[in-house]
Chain A
């Protein structure tokens, strides 16, 4: 994995591994005082009974997870949660992933490839250090484009640039599947809307229980309130209210910082 901030775990969870499908997630609570955080299943190995999660260190819980060593235990892992991605043979599909979103994209792209699609993958990151799963993605993609914001690797620019090119050149693209920062998904949807290409986005709002109980993860889709954990996480990108989602996801930034400071102290 990329050094430092992006971490990969293989968790031994045979029951979940046996059931997990692409696009589903797990909720993890590291220790007794920990919070519950949703992490998408990036891969699974039914025979070894493991699931793979990939995360970036953004807050206290992920920082805490970084300190775990091989063989350590995580207090709670619950899953698989959410609806699996609807995978079918459509012809040509474009898979777009930004940042750690690629971790999830990999699982879904693999499923689309196995279903017989022509898979074009576009993955983006801030810089070279944050590119993950390049080899794995290359294996399952028919075409792979990598972009970095600073141009330190692959094309310079955002994932929307190659996407725009593809949409302009190829008229057989049936589906765009996007996952990554909300703002990225928002821009992708803006673009695909112009070309009227069906777009699925995988959302990752703030969640607590992950079973439809709290409603903390609600998103507005087609002017209706949906619960990401049981109705999603994949939604029709054209109908998602991204602005609201951005604001909802930034509600606890201050507390997040307080929590980190507390743990350092």
Chain B
């Protein structure tokens, strides 16, 4: 019941307790739990209004019988005796100076918005009360596809917020003076401001606000691990659930896109300088967008036949629809960014050659070399790297085989090795291709699963089994050399290692054999050697990633910048974007001073 009422709180409270002219609300003294008396004018006669201000129950009584939709001539604040109606503004509808009060016997509504315009303290709720009220609203869930139906299609699982849900969720934000959420965001989106704009119904303005810092909110709203970033820092999260910042971000970005409110910004005056971006993943696209808007001419080189990098080949359709990615890329094209497909830098051009034609180069090639465990039988048929599996499915659209020519790897009993987001993506994709049983095999416990909680939750809903504290030690093949089973060993958690997570230790003699006819290995990626083979002077750190200056993202070669997974190892979309932003700023500063 309460949920239902709370949902429409803003609209109903508007009817109940707002002046339609100034949109200020009346306030009530909740602590006393006494009826409050308002002076009002009705048809030229002064009347009294009573509001009984229980937190959940807000009653309005009048000294003369008022009917629903009766119109008051005036309404006066009982404390400061100011009119709550601005006399000099007439109602656009009726032309009179009126307040509008609906009379309901009991409505379970809370006066919510705050009147401070008249300088009367009493008009406003105290900060504490406001908090108290806001804390009562639960975190809103996103509507999503039914779990039994969705395993049979590849469409996106969550539908996203409706505007009602978004208003309500945004209303939960306490608007902290010292917002921690902003510090948790790798690109420092001004979160409280955008959430306030959402709460105010200005969805378009909210989207524009995010775009000041983050070029692709529709993508980040879907794939960012908010629970480890902005939402982790949210004060509400200490005792309760944090504000669903990611869902709001997604909502406003989708709103802006669907309502066709996206505007192509004017690029600054052409500087005559040229930038090359290697890789069209999230980091590269961020650099391209930033530099283009600063007036540089930007060319993006992509090795594959489609743009978007991991957003296209890696993240499945049901988590990030390709139409969203395509929209953002079209946006960049309209901005004037040039894209060159099928260009493997390192082979077709070396970095030195690029520097002859471009003033600066950004390397955002990601970490694309899949790792294997080096156990026996790993090269058997139907043992895939997560990259191969996802590339086949997403980039080559193998799930539409034979309409598309790339064959789809199929299995009835699928084992996915690893516990990250990629593992979840693989498992859920396999489930959608009709596998009878999909198992995630992870060597640590549930607590250490690196995947987003939301993804783990989705995977479990879809019927994916979790085999935790287990690690494969051997794959067993059939006569035709396809995998038919794997031998696993149970693990226990030992002392914490360098990453702070407890190290898994095998339990002697706990081996067992598990049947499986397809294995997907999703244990991470290393740096791709192609770019290095042609640029020996590009310095690398001991893990093989590019060495860089963290303040400017510049590498050991002057005017060559790098960011994202190729400098940090496998990380997230937003971290790559953050690195791209730093590099773009540094590039701009340097190129500007060179004039």
Residues of A within 8 A of B (CB): 15-16, 19, 24, 29, 33-36, 60-61, 75-81, 83, 208-209, 211-216, 218-220, 225, 227, 230-231, 244, 247-248, 251-252, 255-256, 258-259, 261-263
Instruction: Find chain B residues with CB under 8 A from A34 CB.
Output: 404-405
Instruction: Find chain A residues with CB under 8 A from B382 CB.
Output: 251
From B344, B379, B402, B481, give the contact of A225 (CB < 8 A): B379
Q: Interface readout for B339-368 with A: 1 if CB under 8 Å, 0 if not? A: 001111001100000000000000000001
Q: Given A215-B385, A244-B379 in contact, is the A36-B396 Cβ separation under 8 Å?
A: yes
Stretch from B50-58, B386-394, B439-447, B563-571 forming part of the interface with A = B386-394
Stretch from B180-188, B266-274, B370-378 forming part of the interface with A = B370-378
| B387–A211 CB distance below 8 A | no
Instruction: Find chain B residues with CB under 8 A from A244 CB.
Output: 379, 481
From B303, B387, B405, give the contact of A60 (CB < 8 A): B405
A259, B403: Cα distance in complex, Å: 8
24 contacts between A and B (CB under 8 A): A29-B305, A34-B404, A35-B404, A36-B406, A78-B303, A80-B347, A208-B391, A208-B406, A209-B303, A209-B304, A209-B391, A213-B313, A213-B528, A214-B387, A214-B392, A225-B374, A230-B530, A247-B481, A248-B481, A251-B482, A255-B402, A255-B408, A256-B407, A259-B405
With A218-B372, A251-B382 known, 18 other A-B pairs at CB within 8 A are: A15-B343, A24-B347, A33-B397, A33-B403, A61-B405, A78-B305, A208-B392, A211-B528, A213-B368, A213-B370, A213-B387, A215-B388, A230-B369, A230-B529, A244-B379, A251-B381, A255-B402, A262-B402
Q: Output the residue of A78, A80, A244, A258 with the most chain B CB within 10 A.
A: A78
Q: Taking the nearest CB of chain B, how far is it from the CB of A260, in angstroms? A: 9
Instruction: Find chain A residues with CB under 8 A from B392 CB.
Output: 208, 214
| A211–B391 CB distance below 8 A | no
A79, B381: Cα distance in complex, Å: 27
Name the residue on B nearest A225 (C-beta).
B372
Q: Taking the nearest CB of chain B, how far is it from the CB of A243, in angstroms? A: 9
Instruction: Find chain B residues with CB under 8 A from A259 CB.
Output: 401-402, 405, 407
Q: Taking the nearest CB of chain A, how far is it from the CB of B558, in angstroms? A: 24
Instruction: Find chain A residues with CB under 8 A from B402 CB.
Output: 255, 258-259, 261-263
Name the residue on B nearest A256 (C-beta).
B407
A232, B348: Cα distance in complex, Å: 17
Q: Output the residue of A60, A77, A81, A258 with the most chain B CB within 10 A.
A: A81
Q: Taking the nearest CB of chain B, how far is it from the CB of A76, in angstroms? A: 4
Q: Given A208-B388, A255-B401 in contact, is the A15-B370 Cβ separation under 8 Å?
A: no
A17, B534: Cα distance in complex, Å: 17
Q: Taking the nearest CB of chain A, how far is it from the CB of B364, in angstroms? A: 14
| B370–A215 CB distance below 8 A | yes
Name the residue on A nearest B407 (C-beta).
A255
Q: Does B480 contact A (CB under 8 A)?
A: yes
Q: Taking the nearest CB of chain A, how far is it from the CB of B177, in angstroms? A: 47
Q: Does B116 contact A (CB under 8 A)?
A: no
Name the residue on A nearest B305 (C-beta).
A76
Q: Taking the nearest CB of chain B, how far is it from the CB of A127, in angstroms? A: 29
Instruction: Find chain B residues with CB under 8 A from A219 CB.
Output: 379
Q: Given A79-B348, A81-B344, A212-B369 in contact, is the A247-B480 Cβ separation under 8 Å?
A: yes
| B405–A230 CB distance below 8 A | no
Instruction: Find chain A residues with CB under 8 A from B344 CB.
Output: 78-79, 81, 211
Q: Output the residue of B343, B369, B385, B405 with the most chain A CB within 10 A.
A: B405
**Top 5 A-B residue pairs of the complex, sorted by shortest distance between their CB atoms:** A255-B407, A262-B402, A214-B388, A247-B481, A78-B342
A220, B378: Cα distance in complex, Å: 10
Instruction: Find chain B residues with CB under 8 A from A258 CB.
Output: 401-402, 407
Q: Does B202 contact A (CB under 8 A)?
A: no
Name the residue on B nearest A254 (C-beta).
B407
A75, B482: Cα distance in complex, Å: 33
Q: Taking the nearest CB of chain B, how far is it from the CB of A86, in angstroms? A: 13
Instruction: Find chain B residues with CB under 8 A from A262 CB.
Output: 402-403
From B343, B379, B391, give the contact of A218 (CB < 8 A): B379
Instruction: Find chain B residues with CB under 8 A from A61 CB.
Output: 405
Instruction: Find chain A residues with CB under 8 A from B549 CB.
Output: none
A26, B265: Cα distance in complex, Å: 39
Q: Does B533 contact A (CB under 8 A)?
A: yes
Q: Taking the nearest CB of chain A, how far is it from the CB of B565, in angstroms? A: 12
Q: Taking the nearest CB of chain A, how far is it from the CB of B242, in angstroms? A: 36
| A214–B528 CB distance below 8 A | no
From A80, A209, A220, A252, give the contact of B379 (CB < 8 A): A220
Q: Taking the nearest CB of chain B, how far is it from the CB of A178, in angstroms? A: 22
Q: Taking the nearest CB of chain B, how far is it from the CB of A34, in angstroms? A: 5
A237, B482: Cα distance in complex, Å: 24
Instruction: Find chain B residues with CB under 8 A from A208 CB.
Output: 388, 391-392, 396, 406
| A80–B406 CB distance below 8 A | no
| B370–A35 CB distance below 8 A | no
| B381–A248 CB distance below 8 A | yes
Q: Taking the nearest CB of chain A, how far is it from the CB of B95, in angstroms? A: 62
| A225–B405 CB distance below 8 A | no
A94, B344: Cα distance in complex, Å: 32
Q: Taking the nearest CB of chain B, how far is it from the CB of A221, in angstroms? A: 11
A121, B341: Cα distance in complex, Å: 38
Q: Taking the nearest CB of chain A, how far is it from the CB of B32, in angstroms? A: 68
| B304–A252 CB distance below 8 A | no
| A83–B533 CB distance below 8 A | yes
Q: Taking the nearest CB of chain B, how far is it from the CB of A248, in angstroms? A: 7
| A214–B379 CB distance below 8 A | no
Q: Given A79-B347, A212-B369, A213-B391 in contact, is the A35-B406 Cβ separation under 8 Å?
A: yes
Instruction: Find chain A residues with CB under 8 A from B379 CB.
Output: 218-220, 225, 244, 248
| A19–B348 CB distance below 8 A | yes
Name the residue on A nearest B306 (C-beta).
A76
Task: Give chain B interface residues in 484-502, CB to chain A under 8 Å.
Answer: none
| A212–B528 CB distance below 8 A | yes
Q: Output the residue of B342, B368, B395, B481 with the most chain A CB within 10 A.
A: B342
From B313, B407, B529, give the contact of A252 (CB < 8 A): B407
Name the residue on B nearest A258 (C-beta).
B402
Instruction: Find chain A residues with CB under 8 A from B397 CB.
Output: 33
Instruction: Find chain A residues with CB under 8 A from B404 CB.
Output: 33-35
Q: Given A227-B369, A244-B379 in contact, is the A214-B391 Cβ separation under 8 Å?
A: yes
Instruction: Find chain A residues with CB under 8 A from B313 CB.
Output: 213
